[in-house]
Chains A and B, each alone.
Chain A
């Protein structure tokens, strides 16, 4: 066989050295000029530009977050100073009153007893709120406006704590609630959230068995009392099992011609693992709010920037050979199969789906500690366009837990 191979190789070399297509040179040059023009005019975003745009985006979000925190801190400082001033004022004006009172320990387990201990005139002003407090003051007002506060306040306790511990628990007056909650509204204008999500994916009609996880940070900016805007940035890891008929024909792999026979993909088993950066832009609508808990609906869109996509697949190709028998006039078909392993790695920023996902979620927020909230948010994400480099239609559904930092 070696002799044959050597001769064949020599012939191949000779054939290629004799290869002459000079007559196509003009056609080639024209094609080259066209290609060059096309490449010049086409919008090609180099990798460094893509990386730079992501860096700019991250920097903007960071600055925005930092400024928000500065504002929150400033507001909180002002509030503390004002409350301290008010407390001092209360102290000087009602010191005699305080001195006359016996410090009555409050048993919060027995509200009926405590209610009896609280003088009725002290509670009464809350049922008829002073407009000056409600409209003008973000902070707690003086003793004339809140006599109940002055009656029970201790020298080193601010009014907020006082109401929290001794008044709000018993008095279900809307005004008390609003006074209690309103001071925080200043802080709630912009909030930082951190979230962890677990989700399942459905590619076409098959649900992937691999759960995906996502970790992100979000900023919630109140637009009105009930509507807020929530952009964010999350890193998500996904893995999909791709069964038959999910991949678009010839998109990832096409059966090659072997021994002159054209083939077709008979079946395949494939897996796509990816690391993606999700940039959601959502609007949050508060449906109802009670005490510090609220139920809300959220909708928006997400842009997916793929940092890594790894495709592994095992394809079974079918090759059917048609043989015509001259003697009998019959045609016989013989099908052979070949197995091909395909592995594709797509680099970072190789694909971006701008607003490729529509987000829908409903959530419930509950207080977590004094200054945080826990948001429990089931969600679905529906594809607006084909996603990933494989052009898949992926539907996500899952549960998100978010921690909202109020201070």
Chain B
């Protein structure tokens, strides 16, 4: 038994899934840990903090275990898992509230019309910092469109908004990201250079 447990991490996804289906805890643990970092990278895009992201991952893995018997083994587990994580994040958003952000014009920073430069690599923390300033609905729309690859029609259906509203949210999200980038990333770079 001990030998089986020790080499459990070397097993294939399918073996881990089969073991998990049989209710073996160490197979489940191995499956969870194998995809933990990847799952977190997906979940963290939809939340404001790492703890919230972990909650999404845990809730998603719970759903994975509940629905594991419906998983189509001919398709990659990773893709299936990501879809569950994204859906869980959207469910969480829906539970919070349906919010329509009608930002006043004076809330926006002026878009100077001059295209800012991106010179340095962005770390995940930089991105997360920028994302934390985005309203949830913008963040969701941006992630679903730009990262997950959904089109506006699908996003509209998922979030219960029209496709034109989705387009509008995406535009605003990008605009806000630009402004935030200029304000927080570019300015700090310039300050560092000055020092």
Chain A interface (Cβ within 8 Å of chain B)? 1, 3-5, 7-9, 11-22, 24-29, 31-32, 35-36, 39, 252-253, 256-260, 319, 336-345
Say whether B62 contacts A15, CB under 8 Å. no
Q: Which residues of chain A come closer than 8 Å to B109, judged between CB atoms?
A: 259
Q: Does B191 contact A (CB under 8 A)?
A: no
Cα–Cα distance between A39 and B63 once the two chains are bound (Å):
13
Contact of A1 among B115, B147, B183 (CB under 8 A): B115
Q: Which residues of chain B come closer than 8 Å to A260, judged between CB atoms?
A: 133, 180, 183-184
Q: Does B14 contact A (CB under 8 A)?
A: no
Cα–Cα distance between A16 and B104 once the two chains are bound (Å):
31
Say whether A16 contacts B178, CB under 8 Å. no
Q: Does B188 contact A (CB under 8 A)?
A: no
Cα–Cα distance between A19 and B110 once the two chains are bound (Å):
32
Pairs A–B under 8 Å by Cβ, sample size 25: A3-B115, A4-B115, A8-B118, A11-B118, A12-B122, A16-B42, A16-B44, A16-B45, A19-B37, A19-B124, A20-B37, A21-B36, A22-B37, A25-B32, A28-B32, A28-B40, A28-B57, A35-B59, A35-B62, A259-B109, A340-B100, A342-B97, A342-B100, A343-B100, A344-B98
Say whether A256 contacts B62, CB under 8 Å. no
Minimum CB–CB distance for B74 against chain A, Å: 25
The number of residues on chain B lying at the interface, defined by a beta carbon within 8 Å of a beta carbon of chain A, is 54
Minimum CB–CB distance for A255 against chain B, Å: 11
Nearest CB to that of B95 among chain A residues?
A344
Say whether A258 contacts B103, CB under 8 Å. yes
Q: Which residues of chain A come closer than 8 Å to B179, judged between CB atoms?
A: 259
Say whether A19 contacts B40, CB under 8 Å. yes
Q: Does B136 contact A (CB under 8 A)?
A: yes
> Which B residues, 82 to 108, have Cβ-Cβ distances below 8 Å to chain A?
97-104, 106-107
Cα–Cα distance between A25 and B39 once the two chains are bound (Å):
11
Cα–Cα distance between A372 and B7 once the two chains are bound (Å):
82
> Which B residues, 107 to 159, have Cβ-Cβ distances below 8 Å to chain A?
107, 109, 115-118, 121-124, 126-127, 132-133, 135-136, 146-147
Interface centre among B107, B177, B180, B183 (most CB of A within 10 A): B107
